[in-house]
Amino acid sequence: MTQVLRLGLPAGSLQEATAELFRRAGYKLSFTSRSYYPSIDDPEIHCTLIRAQEMARYVRDGSLDCGLTGYDWIVENDAQDDVVELAELVFSKVSRRPVRWVLAVPQDSPIHTEQDLQGKRIATEVVNITQRWLAQRGITAQVEFSWGATEVKPPRLADAIVEATETGNSLRANNLRVVAEILTSTTRFIAHPAAAADPWKRQKMDDLVLMLRGAMAAEGKVGLMMNVRKVDVEKVLQVLPALQKPTISALSDPEWVDVMTIIDEDVVRHLIPRLKAAGACGIVEYPINKIIM
């Protein structure tokens, strides 16, 4: 009988970014509208779309072998001790910065320190995280579950909010001031302990994580190749960043070598003028898909 890995993928705002990451990692993931079971071109993996908020719940109870979700929702479900974290995956729909959950108030609010929250009304999607954070500080406040649009609620519908932010744009647009940072969160690949202990499932998950990391590592990277006179090789290598050992190939003309390396796309424009000055010629930049160091 075929073994199957039951994998949960986050529905909603991260869905397209996840599919794109899998695609670059070499998996064809496709969503049929209205279906919550995306197809993947690996018959040994069965995917289910689940809201990120609920992922930890279903991995913990073994309904799924593993899944991708945010560290925030793992904590909100109080599941951090019940699931095994196999990898941290830094990617997101807007930026590559981690998500920060902050406690924010209107610019002109009288609330300036954590203690000022005593007796106030706080709206948030992460009620448990917020209540635990308040309890640790001995503060009593009314924490209300917010169904959405949390950032527009102060001051009329709440005194403060706890809300996720990546760039801070939404806070600025709503004229809010950060009082405290509650939690920083990135995407995690989590597994049920029994799945992590099963050799077949573990190998399957490790391979998947290796490929996802390869695709993430290649993002924003390009290949560079150039011809260099042997006498100039040392100078050229000093210009190149130490990230990866360049490949130096012999050419049929014994006075020249070919140098190949992988570098960050956004330093290319700083490097090329210096490489040229150091004696490199015929510099060619080419795209890459994946890199496994």
Which residue's CB is nearer to its own copies, number 168 or number 214?
214
Tell me the three state secondary structure of residue 111.
coil
Piece of 88-96, 111-119, 150-158, 189-197 that binds its own copies (CB under 8 A): 150-158
Q: The dihedral of CA 128, 183, 189, 9: what is its sign? A: positive
Report 213-242 residues binding its own copies (CB under 8 A).
Answer: 214, 218, 222-223, 225, 227, 233
Handedness of CA 203, 205, 206, 207 (dihedral sign): positive
User: 75 — alpha (psi -120 to 50), left (phi > 0) or beta?
Assistant: alpha
- As given in the structure block, the two tokens for residue 230 are 């042997």
The window from 88-96, 106-114, 186-194, 260-268 that contacts its own copies (CB under 8 A) reads 260-268
* Alpha-carbon gap, residue 165 to 152, rounded angstroms: 14
Subset of 33-62 contacting its own copies (CB under 8 A): 34, 36, 41, 48-51, 53-54, 57-58
**Smallest distance from its own copies to CB 120, Å:** 14
Among 93, 172, 210, 241, binds its own copies (CB under 8 A): 210
Q: Does 283 bind its own copies (CB under 8 A)?
A: yes
For 15, 214, 219, 226, the CA distances from 262, given in Å and listed in that order, are 29, 13, 11, 12
Counting residues that bind its own copies (by CB under 8 A) gives 72
292 scored as a contact of its own copies (CB under 8 A): yes
Residue whose CB is less far from its own copies, 155 or 193 = 155
Residues 167-196 contacting its own copies, CB under 8 A = 173
The per-residue DSSP string of 166-222 comes to SSSHHHHHTTEEEEEEEEEE-EEEEE-HHHHHSHHHHHHHHHHHHHHHHHHHHTTEE
Residue 100 interacting with its own copies (CB under 8 A): no
4 belongs to the binding site for its own copies (CB under 8 A): no
Of the candidate spans 23-31, 85-93, 100-108, 192-200, the one that interacts with its own copies by CB under 8 A turns out to be 23-31
Minimum gap (Å) between residue 140 Cβ and its own copies? 19
d(CA 55, CA 193): 15
Asked whether position 273 contacts its own copies by CB under 8 A, the answer is yes
199 touching its own copies, by CB under 8 A: no
Residue 110 is given by DSSP the state S
Closest to its own copies by CB, 193 vs 273, is 273
Strands 221-229, 256-264: pairing kind = antiparallel
Shortest reach from residue 102's CB to its own copies, in Å:
19
* CA 62 remoteness from chain centre: 24
The residue from 45, 143, 262, 263 that contacts its own copies (CB under 8 A) is: 262
CA distance 24 to 175: 38
